[in-house]
Amino acid sequence: MPTTTIRIEDELKARVAAVAERAGKTAHAFILDAITQTVEQAEQDNAFHALGTERWQAIQATGQTVPWDEAKAYLAARAQGEPVSKPAARKFSN
């Protein structure tokens, strides 16, 4: 495994060491976990934005979408565990 060097201020290094010790980890393991979590969050954010862009492009191309009041009612019913049919998409109008 290759090595990467990072430079951090002494205060942050001490904070990392203290938090890592309380978590029962080495500072190295704590830093790796933090980097992993940050990368995973950035990847999820990017995927979320890509999906939103894809769906917006589909709405623009087809002109079809589900009105918010119907989508909201559908999601509320699903959250309550109620059996409910998906609302049908139709032409978008302002």
Q: What is the pLDDT of residues 38-90, one digit of tens each?
A: 999 999 999 999 999 999 999 999 999 999 999 999 999 999 999 999 999 99
Which pTM value belongs to this model?
0.71
Q: How many whole angstroms separate alpha carbon 81 and alpha carbon 3? A: 50
Q: How many whole angstroms separate alpha carbon 80 and alpha carbon 82? A: 6
Q: How many whole angstroms separate alpha carbon 60 and alpha carbon 14? A: 52
Q: How many whole angstroms separate alpha carbon 16 and alpha carbon 30? A: 8
Half-sphere exposure for 84 (CA within 13 Å, toward CB): 16
pLDDT above 70 covers a percentage of the chain that reads 99
Q: How many whole angstroms separate alpha carbon 87 and alpha carbon 85? A: 6
